[in-house]
């Protein structure tokens, strides 16, 4: 009984670690967008040059 439990737990741990490995490397290649990027005015297509608050 104990050997069967350990075997099942070992298999579950193995598959969980493979899933975590795949998920971790999937997010590494696709970082979230950040920083500055150019935006355009919706009507005339000119780029925005100044920001006022």
* CA–CA distance, 32 with 40 (Å, rounded to integer): 21
Say what the pLDDT of residue 22 is. Answer: 85
The greatest distance separating any two alpha carbons of the chain, rounded to the nearest whole angstrom, comes to 74
Say what the pLDDT of residue 30 is. Answer: 55
Q: pLDDT higher for 38 or 23? A: 23
To the nearest whole percent, how much of the chain has pLDDT over 70? 57
Long-range Cβ contact pairs of 34-38 (< 8 A, separation 24 or more) = none
Say what the pLDDT of residue 14 is. Answer: 95
């Amino acid at each position: 009984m104990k050997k069967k439990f350990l075997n099942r737990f070992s298999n579950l741990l193995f598959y969980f670690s493979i899933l975590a490995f795949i998920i971790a490397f999937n997010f590494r290649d696709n970082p979230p967008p950040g920083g500055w990027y150019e935006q355009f005015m919706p009507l005339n297509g000119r780029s925005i040059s100044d920001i006022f608050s």
